[in-house]
Structure 1
Amino acid sequence: MTYLDSGREYVQALAREIGLNVEDPLVYNCETNTLSLDCTKLNMGGDCGCGSGKDEAGVGKRGPQGERGADGKDGVSVTSIAIDNTNTLTWTDNKGKSHTIGTIVPPQGQKGEKGD
């Protein structure tokens, strides 16, 4: 069987012909013509092989506790942020180093009145 259309009618006809279940957890996007499956929702009813190895749907198994990290006292923090008269965004860290992010583009202004 061949279908030349890819719109809603196509999907409905396909569903009638082969019994395609386009209900949750299946989702059909008419704009992109894609059928997707939410494995987390599918696995909520029991282990079907989709999402196996999970403690619960959507949550991976918890690994062992890691070593305690550094306390952050030597880390970098932001002490100031500035935008100059040329719209350049810069920030200064707690060690006094200045970092330039780039130019901020202001929003488009309102259209002016027509000239003479």
Structure 2
Amino acid sequence: MTDLLFHVADATEWEAARAVGRYERSTRGLSLADVGFVHLSTAEQWPGVLERFYDDHDGELVLLTVDPSRLSAPVRWEAPHPESDELFPHLYGPLDVAAVTAAGPLRS
């Protein structure tokens, strides 16, 4: 099996996505249409994403666990900026709700 991927999501946005079968948020405050891809992380990366980008988030957050073999859009591993050596998985299309194997609460 391919290693699982992760995405930190606002719980309200995730619930809305479940109703339509696809999640189209790239990251906090930005849509797939705004950015062109959905930000994903590895098991080692998501805690840093949570700390850097959601530390001041007031709402409920969930950690989406994604099975890459269930995705209908391609994943590309890319650096977040030219000076970075770390690669992050970017999903170039909507995140299929069926690809999410778990959605667990993080912190409020």
* TM-score, with structure 2 as normaliser: 0.17
Relative contact order: is structure 1 or structure 2 higher (C-alpha 8 Å, sep ≥ 6)? Answer: 2
Task: Return the index of the structure with the highest Cα Rg.
Answer: 1
**Structure with more helix by fraction:** 2
More strand by share: 2
